[in-house]
Chains A and B, each alone.
Chain A
Amino acid sequence: MTDTRVLSPSEVAEEHQQEAHAPYLMVWLWLAGLTGIEYVYAAGLKDFFLILLGGLLALAAIKAALVAWYFMHLKFEGKWVYLLILPALFLAVVLVLALIPDLAMQPADPEGDHVRVEPVRSDVEMARRIPMLATDRPA
């Protein structure tokens, strides 16, 4: 990566000439198709979160990879691009993983299905917090 030299523009063009016929329209059809599949998949399986999650993330990853590989010409680039992108992706993963224990793993709420707030001590306080609360507005 380091000792690379700038090539003259004409060489650049020459080099691209042969590979410029990448199947862009095919890729486009694939992307459109995958978007359609995502759409149907999401609508059909909306009640099964984990299946939804796995499937949709896989589909999105394929689409993203298609864009990067064909449209962004990763296919044609040297290894140096990965030297820039992979560290970023690695750090991205590290950051998110490190956030999980503090933010995604909430301390278990002993009383079950409740929002993390201090207990509401009175109806008056409740009404103050929820102005639109329905039929029990204090007079």
Chain B
Amino acid sequence: MALAPTDAVGPKPGSAGVRHAPVPSHSAPVTPGKVAIWLFLATEVMFFTGLIGSYIVLRAGSPRGAYSNLYPPNTPLRGLENSRGVVLRSIGPDRSKIEEVLRSLGDRKPDEAEQVIAAVPHGVVPARSAERAEALASALRSAGAVVEVEPLKTFEWPKPYDDAVNPLAINLTAANTFVLICSSVTMVLALSAIQRGNRAKCTLFLLATVVIGSIFLSVQVFEYRQLMFEHHYPSGISANGHFVPSCSLFASCFFTMTGLHGLHVTAGVLALSVVLIASIFGAFSASNYAAIELTGLYWHFVDLVWIILFTIVYLL
């Protein structure tokens, strides 16, 4: 690289018309902000790799028998292979009688009996043998309940749509996924509007994005509340009827991944709110919209992560 002194002189930054060969002219311009945000997204890729990668290998390594339709996760099933579960579908007219049976024949403590009833139509009482299960079932039937007897089924990982092991509400979340996708569209429309100089439209689309993003978050908060406090789940999901991070590895992974994603959405909503306010005060124009573009990139990325999470956590 013998250099003639002249070729050493770079173009004047900012001087019009000087475009460098490495960037084809149809490419969008490279700005420090964009380099930084893409770098940041690369770091986010690695962060979610840490979480999602751990999930993938922990799940793949989860042994058959880690989950079952009758016993709480990670119950050692040795010696329990012949268990039957009495599944209480409905308690019939007389609740106290059912409770009575559960306490006596089912050998439940009062609070445990209540827990089983709360989980109806999926209240599970495990029994170690078919005879005991049948005895309990018929007693419950004669007390007016609708019951079924199920054999022990084991799982490596909670199967979607199986109420005995998997508490996740797929319908709700599918709808929520759609919501987040919509917010991505309004985001890109906001950018497109300001690029054409339409400030009012841009502001409206930004507002829509913030609102739709908040809806997504609210649904997620609602879902968490259902899982952790309100709803009662059968014993195959959690020993105490509530789906909380500590009740299984599945729960740990679920809450960690969706929770950290939720934090990212929250950060996105906050950032977008700032952008929205700036937009209301007329900060952006057809020649000045970097903040919208960069926040948008982050927002789409968060959407993208959710697309993956929805698939691998809920549907698989």
The answer to whether A binds B is yes
**At the interface, yes or no: A124 with Cβ under 8 Å from chain B?**
no
Chain B stretch 123-141: residues in CB contact (< 8 A) with chain A: 125-128, 132, 136
Tell me the bound Cα distance from A86 to B89 in angstroms: 52
In the complex with contacts A6-B14, A85-B42, A89-B45, A120-B79 CB distance below 8 A: yes
Q: What residues on B are CB-neighbors of A31 within 8 Å?
A: 181, 184-185
- Is B23 located at the chain interface by the 8 A CB criterion? yes
Number of interface residues of B (CB under 8 A): 93
Determine whether B96 belongs to the interface, using a CB cutoff of 8 Å to chain A: no
Distance between Cα atoms of A96 and B79 in the complex (Å): 36
* B29: A residues at CB distance < 8 A: 6-7, 11-12, 15
Determine if B160 and A42 form an interchain contact, defined as CB atoms under 8 angstroms apart.
yes
State how many residues of chain A have any CB contact under 8 Å with chain B: 86
A113 touches B178 (CB 8 A): no
Beta-carbon contact of B195 and A92 below 8 Å: no
Contacts of B315 in A (CB 8 A): 38-39, 42, 52, 56
Name the residue among A17, A120, A126, A133 with the largest chain B CB count within 10 angstroms.
A133
A38 to chain B, nearest CB (A): 6
Roughly how many angstroms separate A53 CA and B156 CA in the complex, as a whole number? 15
Given A7-B19, A67-B303, A103-B57 in contact, is the A114-B65 Cβ separation under 8 Å? yes
10 extra A-B contacts, CB within 8 A, seeds A15-B28, A137-B107: A4-B30, A12-B28, A12-B287, A32-B181, A52-B315, A76-B27, A92-B49, A104-B57, A130-B72, A134-B128
